[in-house]
Structure 1
Amino acid sequence: MSTSGDPHPTPGEPAVAVDTLVSEDRGRWIVEIVVVFPDGVVRRRINDYPTERHARIAAGWVRQSADRNIEGPLNG
């Protein structure tokens, strides 16, 4: 699997876990997604938002959508 710098990860095993991160950068709130594969981790910036509340709402939507594609039992 590719590192987070590769814009086009190679297809391989399905993802085993996903998480979203919210952080502040220069007064904007950034949402990132982290996807764990058996052979590596991919981290991508999704978007930035004017408030933390907007970013957390968006992160929740991204996480719910990504969780639908994870095979196997979900952990919490």
Structure 2
Amino acid sequence: MAKKQKFPHLVGSKWTAQQETWGWRHFQVVNRKNEGEWVFAEMVAACDPNVRFWMNAKLLKDRSQWQGGWKSLNEQEEKDFLY
């Protein structure tokens, strides 16, 4: 039986940073890299394809730093207010 892949739907996923990151909040994963037990995601800013960086994909699970999908500031504030 094949080993289950970590983060199988990573490439193409969209994320909103809770804080501005490299001047932007909305990013899309355009590439992944497996290095041993680690999985890295190449993030690209939705509004500026020149802004790109690699990060440990595990950090995307931290809701204090990242939210799945592209959220407006109002949606982020509503979420913060509800919790």
Same fold (TM over 0.5): no
Decide which structure has greater strand share.
2
Bin of the TM-score, shorter chain as denominator length: 0.3 to 0.5
